[in-house]
Amino acid sequence: GENVEQHPSTLSVQEGDSAVIKCTYSDSASNYFPWYKQELGKRPQLIIDIRSNVGEKKDQRIAVTLNKTAKHFSLHITETQPEDSAVYFCAARGGADGLTFGKGTHLIIQP
């Protein structure tokens, strides 16, 4: 099955700086790569996703890049704000067995 590795496990950045979270996956057949944000005590919520036929996707301050050859994808958050503090999960899906998640990154925005 799919295996997703996510780094770092904790990331602390100054407010206004950029944050980058990286993930690698093992199954070359995977074709859908979402990112979820989970605030304390809440369910994960989709913030952005990318499919294998696209190399980059942006939505305001958030962007995701995908390198299929290297089997890695990254989340980029620019101009970070206090409300960006949360746990972020990457995931990958190829076959019919659903999404495989990374272990999560705790993003801390320092004022």
Partner 1 sequence: EAQVTQNPRYLITVTGKKLTVTCSQNMNHEYMSWYRQDPGLGLRQIYYSMNVEVTDKGDVPEGYKVSRKEKRNFPLILESPSPNQTSLYFCASISENTGELFFGEGSRLTVL
Q: Using CB under 8 A, list all residues that contact partner 1.
A: 1, 6, 9, 32, 34, 42-46, 49, 89, 91, 93, 96-104
Pick 1 or 111: Cβ nearer partner 1: 1
Residue showing tokens 């990457």: 90
Could you tell me the smallest distance in angstroms from the CB atom of residue 93 to partner 1?
Answer: 7
DSSP-based three-state secondary structure for 22: strand
Pick 65 or 100: Cβ nearer partner 1: 100
- Could you tell me whether strands 105-110 and 10-14 are parallel, antiparallel, or unpaired per DSSP bridges? parallel
Pick 29 or 46: Cβ nearer partner 1: 46
Q: By the 8 A CB rule, do 72 and 3 touch? A: no
